Amino acid sequence: SYSIVCNPQPLVVFDVGGPSFGQVSGGTSIQRQLTVSNQASVTVSLSLSVTIDQSNSSSSRARSTRETLDDSWVLFSDVGTLSLTPGSVTLAPAGSGGPVRVLLSLIPLRPFAHTLVLQFVTPFALSPVSVAQLDWFGIAPLIEFESNSSTSTPFIDLGSVPVGASKVGEGVVSNIGNAVLDLSGMLVDGSSSTWLSVLSSLPNQLLPNASLTITVECMPASTGSFSTSMILLSSSPLYPELPISV
């Protein structure tokens, strides 16, 4: 019998700097330079990608999309927008060239703790290989809207209103983030002003975990079905323009 001793060594080395971005402000772009070097005796080609919060295609809240724009690989998700430039690299054999630099850019959108995992794909791998992990803690407001409607989107249902009468409906805006939420105003379609008015006081400010009731009044002058969409403007990086159907 023969003994075979194997001491595997990485042929491609990634240097991502520190393991964390630390505290980052929502909506503010941060960047980090990564280096990729080849220790193999042959040319190696890699395609790079990233997952956020252990999800390839979607987060637990909303779908993510991945695209190749020019020479960059870009991920759009409700946690953040992330890009790698270039999105693919070709590494010369060891001793024939130096490391390749890749620029990682992140715009965080949600508050609290999140993690990204850097991956690469080669023609020799059946699935992406995870090579590094980075985390961050986002500081940002996050807007949430609740009403008596059973729909998943922001909606105020005023039901039936007699002509010449008025009816008030409301929904509650909350700041579920960890920074102050500025509510700068409400945009209402001009054609809706004949039957709908906003009674709430805006602009306004909400501290974390605070709420504000958004009140509207319907006063129809004729029969028929009426509907519109209001836009609530805020400092939430994820939902700076929140549509509310009425």
Residue 189 pLDDT class (50, 70, 90 cuts): confident
Do 116 and 67 meet the contact criterion of CB atoms below 8 Å apart?
no
| Partner residues linked to 1 by β-bridges | none
Cα 198 from Cα 227, distance rounded (Å): 14
Give yes or no for a contact between 186 and 198, defined as CB atoms under 8 angstroms apart: yes
Tokens of 131: 């090579």
Q: What is the pLDDT of residue 56?
A: 42
Q: pTM of the predicted model, to two decimals?
A: 0.83
Residue 8 predicted with pLDDT over 60 = no
CA distances from 92 to 28, 96, 98, 100, 121 (A): 35, 6, 8, 9, 17
Q: Residue 176: CA atoms inside 13 Å, Cβ hemisphere, count?
A: 10
27-66 burial, b if ≥16 CB within 10 A, otherwise e?
beeeeeebebbbeeeeebebbbbbbbbeeeeebeeeebeb
Q: Residue 202: exposed, middle, or buried by beta-carbon count in 10 A (0-12, 13-18, 19+)?
A: middle
Least confident of 64-73, 76-85, 169-178: 64-73
C-alpha 87/C-alpha 227 separation (Å) is 45
Res. 127 pLDDT band, cuts 50 70 90: confident
Phi and psi of 188, rounded to 5°? -125, 135
